[in-house]
Amino acid sequence: MNQSRIIRGLVLALAAAPAFAQTTTAPPPGRLLASNCFQCHGTNGRGGVETLAGKSASEIVKELKEMQGKTPPKMMDMHARGFTDAELQLIGNYFAAQR
């Protein structure tokens, strides 16, 4: 009784199993977060109102932290306020890694 339930569970699990995770490329950390910037800064941070691709991560983080404090805020200053410090770092690292 137990054995057939285990086998049934295994069969169901295998049937539902998607493509093996280890043979697919993982989404780069910070990519989805950074994609919030693409509408203005271009896909992958290339082009747009100002290219961010390849910029130094620490420089991006520093500028975004400065923007958070600006008053009266411009649109970009407001955007910056919506991210935590950890998120700002992820975003900076992502753009720095784009060539």
* Per CB under 8 A, 92 contacts other proteins: no
Q: Residue 33: which H helix or E strand, with range? A: helix 31-34
* Per CB under 8 A, 5 contacts other proteins: no
Name the residue among 89, 97, 99 with its Cα closest to residue 65: 89
Per-residue binder mask for other proteins (CB under 8 A), 14-53, x = binder = ---xxxxx-xxxxx---xxx-xx-xxxxxxx-xxxxxx--
Concatenate the DSSP letters of all residues of 40-65 into one string.
HH-GGG-STTS--TT--HHHHHHHHH
Which residues here bind other proteins, judged by CB under 8 A? 17-21, 23-27, 31-33, 35-36, 38-44, 46-51, 54, 68, 72-73, 75, 78-83, 87
